[in-house]
Chain A
């Protein structure tokens, strides 16, 4: 520890700290421009000067890069210090008259004008080197450098050309204190939210508020470290040292006795339905994107805003997009009517807008659902009975200018209506996941014609499947809402628990008649479950009942007629054939 005196106060501080760090710890304000705790101090702006008094003389020192020494006596707001800072800010004002921070800092010090000559009234750069240092030391892209000396000195790229090496991270602009550097999108790209393309995001983030585990992950595609091998700022600021950029994905095999599949659903890709303009027209979004927009942890903090930041005055919610449609999914997706009304309610709650629901008919089948529908009607939601045919931005009348127009046949009044709105929310069909075929193969399941996993029996076996020990829960089995999903999940969990230590097997297994078997071993070769073994001393084959799954392949293959199958014996099947032809 080192003993110093700071503004008259005796302190004992850790060795190696800078004066600025000690002052900040003591909550003493020292102005800085080129200092950032994550960068090496550079002492370029000289705003942080303080007076360090020795025995004989006193000196001005830049506090950001001066380490404390035993016996130091420091004054952070002595007359001499303040004068030095004033002179400094006047010089900076002359160099970067357009920089807002400088003007503000000067104003705080009571300075309005600089006595020094202004060369370029537009200039903002104070040559603090933040950008160069961050690009060099943190990002590791080595794009920005200083060029020339003295008055001509400036920040630039190699040969003053757009740099190939720039990874477009924007760190320079983020660190620049004077906004001299801005990220300009010269390619017309947009900053998109990686998940739902609704807003910007960071390379390290918690995927969504309810994620389990609720910890951030590193998005390797966007993380600077995986582009330049440097950065790791997150690692520097993470006190528990929980971040490790070097871990690789690992795969673990876990042995289990049964499994519940709850792999859920996907939404039909609306960009394949050009009539609704999704992906083509601004402010046409899917219901899931609306949920994200509305959510407190979403890109707007839960505000319902259009792409240009305005609040919508009219919102259309389009039911059955791809559901109950001969060209897409023939079935009803079940949940959309209710969540669409929930969305109407949210819109009413948050913005002053007219809400139009375009529906074929309202399916409010659950507990309290019809009541909610009635409430929404009273709340002023406009229900238009007719499936929306098209969303367009081609205005026919002045009221439609700069609007999205939803065209639909209103079947209650038998006429085509055009309703101009600002925001269109599509309720796409709930469809089986793209990888569901793969999952079905993996677990030995089949699907129903709609592509969802098939339960063992629609009434008697709604959570079990044709595969022993595999159960279903939720929308992977068919579109359903959260209450139904939870009920089925509880049912599946119960089914697993009730399996206990003993497993019931079907009575349909095969057996080999010892008397007839000649020990040819043909059956052993055909059994896919290795259920048949050769009994050396008896010179016959024998089936282990608990391993046998009862496919009957061995029975069909056995040339001597020794093998037969319970419940499906040769003589039973033969009798059936005879009966069929009787």
Chain B
């Protein structure tokens, strides 16, 4: 059996209060996970402008993940709810554009959940590796366009 060696590029938007610290904890705890997800620190998951997500796809990301605090735990009370609403709209939109919905994900990881961060990143990595590279100019994306 041929092994999949595809190395996806994944952009992760990490809330500074929860997931960013969770990722830090995973790091200081020397947990191992694929290095394919590159974190972009934001003050809150609610700060993630949909245009950042679209920009990431257009510049070659195979997937985008928004990480926020668990519902009810947002440092700014409700920023993660805003992120969640945008996420559902964005998901519809990328489907229209022919991008598989799994290429956009939303995850809640708290500052104490280093292990969860490790697990989620590993899971997302395998899923995207399975999907293969995102090709906006060929395949589905083009046939829709």
Contacts and interface: CB of A to CB of B under 8 A. Distances in A.
A444 B75 contact: yes
B43 A565 contact: yes
Contacts of A552: 42-44, 46-47
A466 B17 CA distance: 8
A491 B11 CA distance: 40
A263 interface: no
Contacts of A576: 40
Given A580-B40, A581-B61, A447 B112 contact: yes
B101 to A, nearest CB: 20
Contact of B72 (A441, A454, A568, A573): A441
B27 interface: no
Nearest to A578: B59
A446 B49 CA distance: 25
A345 to B, nearest CB: 37
A581 B43 CA distance: 21
A577 B44 contact: no
Contact of A553 (B38, B44, B55): B44
Contact of A448 (B42, B59, B112): B112
Contact of A441 (B60, B73, B115): B73
A53 B40 CA distance: 105
Contacts of B38: 580-581
B113 to A, nearest CB: 7
B33 to A, nearest CB: 16
B94 interface: no
A448 B21 CA distance: 10
Interface string B65-82: 000010011011111001
Given A446-B110, A528-B76, A577-B40, A555 B56 contact: no
A154 interface: no
Interface string A445-483: 011110000100000000000110000000000000000
Contact of B17 (A446, A528, A570): A446
A390 to B, nearest CB: 31
A549 B25 CA distance: 25
Contact of B56 (A447, A448, A467, A581): A581
A574 interface: yes
A526 B77 CA distance: 11
B46 A553 contact: yes
Interface string A43-84: 000000000000000000000000000000000000000000
Contact of B59 (A444, A557, A581): A581
B9 interface: yes
Given A441-B72, A444-B75, A578-B59, A449 B113 contact: yes
A13 to B, nearest CB: 72
Contacts of B75: 444, 466-467, 551
28 contacts: A441-B72, A446-B110, A447-B111, A448-B111, A449-B25, A449-B112, A449-B113, A526-B46, A526-B82, A528-B78, A528-B79, A529-B76, A550-B43, A551-B47, A551-B76, A552-B47, A553-B44, A553-B47, A565-B47, A570-B49, A573-B40, A573-B42, A574-B55, A577-B52, A577-B55, A577-B56, A580-B61, A581-B61
Interface of A: 441, 444, 446-449, 454, 466-467, 508, 526, 528-529, 549-553, 555-557, 565, 568, 570, 573-574, 576-578, 580-581
Top 9 A-B pairs, shortest CB-CB distance: A552-B47, A551-B76, A580-B38, A553-B46, A449-B112, A556-B49, A446-B111, A551-B44, A528-B77
Given A551-B46, A553-B46, 13 more contacts: A446-B21, A449-B112, A449-B113, A551-B76, A551-B79, A556-B46, A568-B42, A568-B43, A573-B52, A576-B40, A577-B59, A580-B61, A581-B56
